Structure 1
Amino acid sequence: MTTDGELALTAARAGATVVRAMYGTSLTRFDKGGDDFATAADVEAEKAILDVLRGARPYDAVIGEESGRTGPHGAERVWLVDPLCGTLNYAARSMLVAVNVALRVGSEVTAAASADPFAGEVFWTDGVDAYARRDGVDQRLAPSSGTRLVDVNLDPPFPNAPGFRAVRLLADAGFADRFRPRVVSTTLAVAWVAAGRRAAYVTDGHLRDSVHFAAGIALCRAAGCVVTGLHGQPPHTGAGGLVVAADRETHAALLEIIGRQAPRER
């Protein structure tokens, strides 16, 4: 039987094939409220992913970005599916997007994949190790802070405002001295931390069972990154948010910079 890690990879690749094929076409948009929307590519990619998952694991539940929760009520195994992370990028004909698939068993994500439809690679983990697969070859992911590039998510919601606003990192002199900010606006950048292409990633938000972030967090953990909430606490606790760093030194520097924000609001 196909392992969960391989299944996550296969499902993400199926979604990526749809996303790549529909790129640049005239896409129907579906309003989701609050300036958020999905495109026909989101919907079709999710269908392709769900076909793979349901065919191989018919008794698992699925939480899809577009279709919501389906499958057996109370299932211990739940797939988290984000068929197109970076919809606004995609609709503007930018190729910075990801297709994310993760499996939560109980409280732990045990397998995940994040596919880049246009680079032709899939970052994936079996919950123990993390790899990038390209042209059928796996390469183990190796985090590194050498690039000094830190991706900052500026998209809402901002549950910790005004005590923390990610945009203020960009104006912090210490941040600018040590790091080089990037704003990619897709969780592909989280996978890039695991792969050594980003030194770190920072976002606000409550991310438990997030179809957007579950795969990237699992990849980073398996690759050996430092993964915490905004204030260094375990993920999905306290203030929430996410700080993923290639190493402890980078992580500590980011926590110090983030910690400077809160006193200004008192």
Structure 2
Amino acid sequence: MLGSDEDVAIKAAQAGAVIVRARYGAALTRFEKSGGDFATSVDIEAENAILDVLRSARPADAVTGEESGRTGADGTAREWLVDPLCGTLNYAVRNMLVAVNVALRTGAKVTVAASADPFTDEVFWTDGTHAYVRRDGVDEPLAPSAESRLVDVNLDPPFPNAPRFQAARLLADPGFVERFRPRVVSTTLAVAWVAAGRRAAYVTDGDLRDSVHFASGIALCQAAGCVVTGIQGQPPHTGSGGLIVAADRQTHAALLTLVDKQFPPDGDAT
């Protein structure tokens, strides 16, 4: 029997990861979405496996799934946010860089979260206070580190702050090149990697409030002690939006300076 909410999140993420791993390399049916995006039959199957766990363990809670939308009771303060396959395009071309994300938002706060890597059999998870990675049933605390200097920059649309800010321009900035080494993996697994010390930072544009893609990674990084803000240093989900997650304050300050160069001074034309 599943007891704590974090146990439910981990179990649900693992259930989705089992499907993603088992179907890897198989023929996929694609379902077109807006803006050139698409889902596959594996996205849907993995989401159903996750929903089975959540509905069995927490039948009174609401759930918002990337593919199925919102289901469950109205007015509840507890809502699960589910992204069954983050990195669908990677997966469709047989690239293993994907994640399975499950988070519980209670009121305005994400209280537990899990991000599973189907191909390493790791689950990054948080109880809202501490953050861990589970391998072979053993939990190890996550320890952010900027030592690698690797910064993941999300280049996938939408870009609500364009043309003022475009993440791709960071890659050509001499200050970025001098201090950091860019990576583009196109999955929010990279956000969990910041919490785990495998990336120095992560940068993206976008409105990420209640995002099924980002809720887990943001919660992991906050619990691990990373610096987490919007792209202009504001609290997450406010102002211009976007996200800068950094392993330490020095890395965050350096990235914030680079991003600020793209925004015109107050009163200037955009």
The amino acid across from 2:16 in the alignment is: G
| 1:188 corresponding residue in structure 2 | 189
1:3 matches 2:32? no
1:234 matches 2:235? yes
CA distance in 2, matches of 1:121, 1:177: 33
| 1:243 corresponding residue in structure 2 | 244
| 1:108 corresponding residue in structure 2 | 109
| 1:90 corresponding residue in structure 2 | 91
The amino acid across from 1:121 in the alignment is: E
| CA deviation profile, 1:32-65 (whole Å, cap 9, x unmatched) | 1221000000000000000000000000000000
| 1:160 corresponding residue in structure 2 | 161
The CA RMSD over aligned residues, in Å, is 0.9
CA distance in 2, matches of 1:211, 1:217: 11
| 1:26 corresponding residue in structure 2 | 27
| 2:62 corresponding residue in structure 1 | 61
| CA deviation profile, 1:45-96 (whole Å, cap 9, x unmatched) | 0000000000000000000000000000111000000000000000000000
TM-score by length of 2: 0.97
- How far off its partner does 1:119 sit? 0.6
Give runs of aligned pairs for residues 41-52 of structure 1, distance below 5 A: 41-52=42-53
| 2:120 corresponding residue in structure 1 | 119
CA distance in 2, matches of 1:136, 1:4: 17
| 2:137 corresponding residue in structure 1 | 136
- How far off its partner does 1:2 sit? 1.2
- How far off its partner does 1:6 sit? 1.2
TM-score by length of 1: 0.99
CA distance in 1, matches of 2:23, 2:40: 10
CA distance in 2, matches of 1:111, 1:262: 34
| CA deviation profile, 1:12-42 (whole Å, cap 9, x unmatched) | 0000000001110001100112210000000
Identity over aligned pairs, percent = 74
SS of 1:104 mapped into structure 2: strand
SS of 1:233 mapped into structure 2: coil
SS of 2:171 mapped into structure 1: helix
CA distance in 1, matches of 2:37, 2:66: 12
The amino acid across from 1:154 in the alignment is: L
**How many residues end up aligned between the 2 structures?**
266
CA distance in 1, matches of 2:262, 2:164: 6
- How far off its partner does 1:263 sit? 3.0
SS of 1:83 mapped into structure 2: strand
SS of 1:171 mapped into structure 2: coil
| 1:219 corresponding residue in structure 2 | 220
Moved more, 30-39 or 91-100: 30-39
SS of 1:177 mapped into structure 2: helix
The amino acid across from 2:194 in the alignment is: V
CA distance in 2, matches of 1:9, 1:255: 33
The amino acid across from 2:259 in the alignment is: I
SS of 1:144 mapped into structure 2: coil
Gaps of 5+ in 2: none
Gaps of 5+ in 1: none
